[in-house]
Chains A and B, each alone.
Chain A
Amino acid sequence: MDQSLISGHAPTPPAARMENHGSNMLKVAMSSGHDLFARTGSMVAYEGYVQYEPNPPAVRQMASQWLTGEGAPLMRCTGDGLLYLADYGADVVCLQLTNESVSVNGTNLLAFDAHLQWGVERVKGMAKFAGQGLFNVVVSGTGWVALTSRGTPVVVNCGGGDDETYVDPDALVAWSSGLRMKGKRSFKASSMIGRGSGEAYQLGFSGHGFVVVQPSEDSTDRLRARG
């Protein structure tokens, strides 16, 4: 078979713990002793000897409030080899934290090093607005985190001045922890009557830091929808 057309997509030797393969796939160089937490169902391929432990006890406790009544949507991956992860064609962004901290929307988290500190937080003020509330995972320490974004994201700096930055919660991907946030209803009451849709609620961020936003308001959790 003439493979010249697809040979350009062959895997490349890993250069770092996490890398992109194309824009939509994450390649993780696994080695024993360096475990990884990944979204359940995100594995698309692996080479080598990698084991998966869905719903590990440690995670179960941490993520008990992620969504009630269901198992934690994370699995612990151990072993040696190359692991490929993807989330229904979403763009993947790898971040290397060096003693830093980032808050990631729960549905936009793809994988992170198991040795990082992490915790689940509920976004204050949002629970009473949106139906299911908004959960985010705060990851801090030194290591790698991979996010997904539907479309190429944009990073906006919050200036810390008078102007707050308002984000559609469905388009929010991640933000630097340390920003103050609050819910805001921006439509005037008169325009709300009978008009359910529209830019009804936003999250306002203030302080110094950045916000990552995706160009899509599709925040459904596709990995979870699979069941």
Chain B
Amino acid sequence: MSREFQRGHKAKISDLTAGTDLYVGVQIGGPGLAFDISCFGLDAGERLSDDRYFVFFNQPQSPEGAIQLLGAQAGDTESFRVTLDRVPPHVRRLTFTATLDGAGQMSQVGPGYIRLVAGGTEVARYSFTGAEFSTERAVMLADVYFKDVWRFAAVGQGFDGGLEALLTNFGGEVLEEEPEAAPAPGAAPAPAATPAPAFAPPQATAPPSFAPPAPAPQHHGQPQAPTPPPPPAFSTPPPAQGYAPPPGSTPPPQPPASGPAAHSAPTLAAPLAPPGYFSGGHTPAGGTVPPPPPPPPGVPGTPHAPYAQPTAPTQVFATPQPYGTPAVPAQPQPGPHASYGAPAPYGAPAPHGAPAAHGNPGVPGLQAGLDPYKEVPVGQRWALQNAKLVRVDLGADPQPVLARQGSMVLYQGKVDFAYKGAGFMGRIVGNATGQEMQLMRCTGRGQVFLAENSAHLHPVQLENEGLCVSADAVLAFDESLHHEVRRIEGHGIPGGALFTLQFHGTGTVVLKTHGTPVVLPVTNATFADSNAVVAWSAGAQVVVSSQVRLRRSAYPGHSGETVNLQFRGAPGNFVVVQPYEV
């Protein structure tokens, strides 16, 4: 399912996945190299007009939680969770960057990648190697940007200069070590006036620089309370995070990119920002930044289910704390927890270690444990809630949905379910194969959750295309799709023939498979077991190839692979096969 991107490739995210809750994983590394991976939330002018959307290790999430830093997990050096429909309208481009921390240059980087994961499956991957770079100190890996719709672009552009240069490039501001840079109590709530939490170098004594997502300003968006002075434990950052320049330094001189142009892509010169950005005020581009919306209640920073592997320290802090609890910095250092190799996938482990620690006050309770399973935001007609559950929103488009009977697990709103006979052909299917293809028509207004028997679900969007689906792999589809029953006859197929539904038109079909399926391109020798095949593009022609051997009649009841379907078709056709023989 994953799509490989090359440098410069772009795609609509809606073409990659129906979901808007994305996981972005970056793997980058090299011998002796350490990286800071961050996400810049830029405005339409590609300026970092709002510091709070610079998500990095000192600021692990944006105010409303649309962008969250999750830490290393699942083979990724760093990972983010991005909820696109919660990204505020003034943030139009999310740029994912990796900057070298310490000595080294990008040409020393080993093979790495940035990938997009939605609903538990990887949908896009851009792989790179150090050979594409030379002496750069940073690389802009990929952009998720909004142009009519959200899109993904593999950038892979090197950048001379480290994180600070990158920041200045985007119009950000690197704070010098200034004690008064700390947000003064009662400061104006304009976010731009309190850039300290974001950019203070860790060595600086600016208090909030390491107060991990200081609950009050972060969650409420407005520093209505003076930030407590830092506890001593946090004033010295771990060495691994000392990326910033020595206190008081300006962006450090970088090794000039005068090396041989081993890389074809142009390298940006470091300071592109207009001079105005260097002067103290740092006025946000585009006027005032709207105050951040308060976080939705009950959606604290706990990561989503597949992402919830709190191994990194930042993760521990990302577990929701009661707002404004001043005790947060006094939480025990998460250091020991980082050593737990195994993920605690449900995101709710209490940050304290004692096994018999129930009843510890200040620990998120029920909601935190359930938070990874929250309903995905409303918006699309078909949304994959998780790998096994799909939600159809009947609100916007009143068009009915046909679903397999008994597949509804939950609905909200006023939805009417009516029996839908499969018609004459459907009855033939039922009679011939012994299984009824019984449908129900869901009409009305509301959301319906469909699932069946923990099968993996795959919404497929057809745009005037054709798809043949094995009759028992259909879970639901838009009634706008024209569908008819096709029959594939062949000796040896159970029931005498294989019945498929051929869909044509524009709409969505939800397939269900047992296990993760494989999508094979149709070549001139593509075979599939007739029991395991799920779907194929309508352009592929199906031929039954029976391997009749003498042995078969000699040993009645033998269970070899006798009947296969051969697929023929023009390039571009595909076959979907599940790891399960019905």
Mark A residues whose CB is within 8 Å of B.
Answer: 8, 10-17, 19-23, 29, 31, 33-34, 93-100, 102, 113, 142-144, 150-159, 163-168, 171, 176, 186-188, 191, 195, 197-199, 202, 210-218
Contacts and interface: CB of A to CB of B under 8 A. Distances in A.
A157 B375 contact: yes
Contacts of A212: 370, 373
Contacts of A113: 358
Given A10-B342, A23-B345, A168-B409, 20 more contacts: A10-B341, A15-B349, A16-B344, A21-B342, A22-B345, A31-B355, A95-B366, A96-B358, A99-B365, A151-B389, A154-B374, A163-B413, A166-B410, A168-B408, A171-B409, A171-B410, A197-B405, A210-B370, A211-B410, A216-B409
Q: Which among A16, A29, A113, A143 has the highest number of chain B CB atoms within 10 Å?
A: A16
A151 B385 CA distance: 12
Contact of B412 (A14, A143, A156): A156
A68 to B, nearest CB: 28
Contacts of B342: 10-12, 21
A165 B413 CA distance: 7
B357 A17 contact: yes
B454 A215 contact: yes
B164 to A, nearest CB: 37
A31 B414 CA distance: 50
Contacts of B405: 197-199
B387 interface: yes
Nearest to A98: B365
Interface string B353-366: 10111110101111
Contacts of A202: 411
A191 B414 CA distance: 18
Interface stretch (B65-73, B91-99, B243-251, B445-453): B445-453
Nearest to B344: A19
Given A15-B340, A154-B375, A215-B386, A198 B348 contact: no
A217 B449 CA distance: 12
A53 B340 CA distance: 32
Contacts of B341: 8, 10, 12
B409 A15 contact: no
A197 B358 contact: no
B520 interface: no
A191 B348 contact: no
B305 interface: yes
B406 A216 contact: no
A7 to B, nearest CB: 10
A220 to B, nearest CB: 12
B10 interface: no
Contacts of B345: 20, 22-23
A15 B332 CA distance: 13
Contacts of B416: 186
B282 to A, nearest CB: 39
A152 B389 contact: yes
B340 A13 contact: yes
B438 interface: yes
B451 A151 contact: yes
B277 interface: no
Contact of B355 (A17, A154, A156, A218): A17
Given A151-B389, A212-B373, A98 B355 contact: no
A186 B412 contact: no
B36 to A, nearest CB: 27
Interface string B412-455: 11101111000000000000000000101000001001011110
A219 B123 CA distance: 32
B438 A197 contact: yes
B87 to A, nearest CB: 22
A154 B408 contact: no
A164 B359 contact: no
Q: Which among B389, B414, B446, B453 has the highest number of chain A CB atoms within 10 Å?
A: B389
Contact of A96 (B368, B413, B414, B417): B368
B317 interface: no
A216 B452 CA distance: 5
Contact of B419 (A17, A22, A198): A198
Contacts of B388: 151-152, 215-216
B382 to A, nearest CB: 15
B298 interface: yes
A15 B309 CA distance: 13
B406 A217 contact: yes
A217 B373 contact: no
B337 A15 contact: yes
B369 interface: yes
Contacts of B346: 20, 93-94
Contacts of B453: 150, 216-218
A45 to B, nearest CB: 15
B411 A152 contact: no
A170 to B, nearest CB: 8
A94 B357 CA distance: 14
Contacts of A95: 348, 365-366, 369-370
